[in-house]
Structure 1
């Protein structure tokens, strides 16, 4: 169901891109926009992970350069039945992390120095497990494609708005007033609509990744604690690279941009409080299951307790 919904949202974003192209250049503009969208998606499929990592100045590390972090990622990847992802560190004081890559075989996990310095091992495990859940669910490809299309729609809309280009101009070079109004509405509404679609996809995926991450590391409360710490630090520590590239914000475990705390249409992530509440509920259920399992084991042991033979009881 999530796959179908995501496919529909991606199709809607592509249609928005084509609509803006139409109001800039008519049918030809729409076809060109479709071609550009196809090329961008293909390019993003193969190269978006490299672009994002380069954008944030991420440096790849191995077991020798960052043994504790690398070995933790390796351990959790095995627990999640995933191939070993590439591991990156971003020199940034804001605690945050993201995963990228077109599939589990070509995935990468990146964490900031601020994250590595501010979390306990269990909390860091929860964050990395969350990112591995994104990889297992193939969210990294979905979010990369939506970020690419959303950025392209905004760029195309700005071009149309400032260049004054429009479709269906007459022979004297003057456009139809209705067309001009429609173009103005499209270039203003389309980027906004693309942003909402991107946010809707991201928020749905974050809840699923929280659940999957808690199952991988087995400690939902550790992930909840990490989210609380990260959200508090994000409000105080800016991330300049993210501010300059807001389309990449949904990739992070917590929105790196300022002023995005509410769980509403304008948030790229669910409210942290809601995510923490869901994880705490999950922890209660997991503990109840453990207690039930323990009770069953003890009951079975009680039933199978060694009994002395009758001849010894005489």
Structure 2
């Protein structure tokens, strides 16, 4: 909670600074000369409420949405030895990571996949695909589970939500500042909101969202390295590397399976591809080669 409080205070300070800078460069003066009394502080608060509100609602319902969208079968009472092993393994890893016992589930997917979600590190959900259970040995499955427990222990879901909230706030704020400027200063609209406002807000919001997503994706890639390290600490470097190598083989296969998203690791970009040259800024996961190399060099 202390980390969340400090994070929020830091970003409130950033928002106040943004408003102060706009005042210092004379933005309010320009708007007033064109008959617009724009309260930047009120606009910041409005955008922050909607920016953070949407992110926190998404976080609060993340477990509910994941269970339904991925058709997760939560293991309340293990029906066989494999499910019992899965529950026991997650319990051991959660204890070692000093977090509460997550819900454990399996979802129907032929791809090797796994994810962790939840608003509270002591009330999370960890789920693996049927494909992962079939393709990996138990040491490798344990490493994958340790990686996901690492996300939970690091509080990655909450931190990413806070970052997304700040990004949303700035996108909403600056797109509307640009809209007011275009509508009143450039197009000289004197009454209400003209078409220039709505078009420029829409265009600015699209462009700013794309640019801002690189910040969110940068953090997402960093958290994967941290989760890999946590997985190596909890389950052993050898098992973690072996699991990533199996993923690499699977997702490099020229098939539909190789093109499918996975929460645990995305397929590497092809050599010479747009993704490899430019798209890496928008990847939520680092290339598997880099993740394997980082573990070997730790």
The TM-score, its normalising length taken from structure 2, stands at 0.68
Alignment partner, residue 214 of structure 2: 196
Partner in structure 1 of residue 132 of structure 2: 115
User: Are the structure 2 counterparts of residues 81 and 108 from structure 1 closer, same or farther at C-alpha, using a change threshold of 3 Å?
Assistant: same
> For the residues of structure 2 that align with 1:253 and 1:129, how far apart are their CA atoms?
11
> Residues 132, 253 of structure 1: CA spacing in aligned structure 2 closer, same or farther, 3 A cutoff?
same
In the other structure, the counterpart of 1:210 is 228
SS at match of 1:253: coil
Out of 241, 245, 248, the position equivalent to 1:224 is 241
**Aligned positions of 1:129-208 closer than 5 A:** 129-144=146-161, 146=163, 166-167=179-180, 168=183, 170-171=189-190, 175=194, 183=201, 186-208=204-226
Q: Deviations over 1:262-281 (max 9, x none)?
A: 79323222221111112123
- Aligned partners of 1:89 and 1:183: how far apart in 2? 43
1:61 aligns with 2:72: no
* Conserved 8 A contact 1:63-1:70: no
Greater radius of gyration (CA) = 1
**Partner of 1:264: helix, strand, or coil?**
helix
CA distance in 2, matches of 1:54, 1:185: 34
Of the structure 1 ranges 28-37 and 142-151, higher mean CA displacement relative to structure 2 is found in 142-151
Deviation at 1:145, TM superposition (A): 5.0
Residue in 1 that maps onto 2:112: 95
* Residue 22 of structure 2: aligned partner: none
Counterpart in the other structure of 2:26: none
1:166-185 deviation per Cα after TM superposition (whole angstroms, max 9, x unaligned): 544635677496x6786365
Query: Which blocks of at least 5 consecutive residues in structure 1 are unaligned?
Result: 20-25, 243-248, 283-314
Gaps of 5+ in 2: 20-37
1:104 Cα deviation (Å)?
A: 2.1
- TM-score with structure 1 length normalisation? 0.65
The 2-side partners of 1:105 and 1:133 are apart by 13
* Cα distance per residue 1:4-56 (max 9 Å; x no partner): 9x949x949x97xx99xxxxxx7677654332223224423432222233222
| Partner of residue 127, structure 1 | 144
Q: Is the 8 A contact 1:90 1:113 kept in 2?
A: yes
Give me the whole-angstrom Cα distance separating, in 2, the residues matched to 1:111 and 1:49: 14
CA distance in 1, matches of 2:56, 2:231: 29
Give 1:225-264 correspondences, 5 Å limit.
225-235=242-252, 236=255, 237=257, 252-255=263-266, 264=280
For 2:61 and 2:141, locate their aligned partners in 1 and report how far apart those are by CA, in whole Å.
28
Question: CA distance change for structure 1 residues 125 and 118 in 2, over 3 Å: closer, same or farther?
Answer: same
Partner SS for 1:254:
coil
**Over residues 77-101 of structure 1, what are the superposed CA-to-partner deviations in whole Å (9 max), with x where a residue is unaligned?**
2232332111011211111111111
- 2:54 paired residue among 29, 32, 40: 40
Separation of aligned partners in 1, 2:73 and 2:170: 30
Task: Provide the rounded CA distance (Å) in 2 between the counterparts of 1:266 and 1:43.
Answer: 23
Equivalenced residues, count: 252
Q: Give the 3-state SS of the residue equivalent to 1:89 in structure 2.
A: strand
8 Å CA contact retained: 2:56, 2:161? no
Preserved CA contact (<8 Å) 2:70 2:107: yes
RMSD between aligned alpha carbons? 4.0
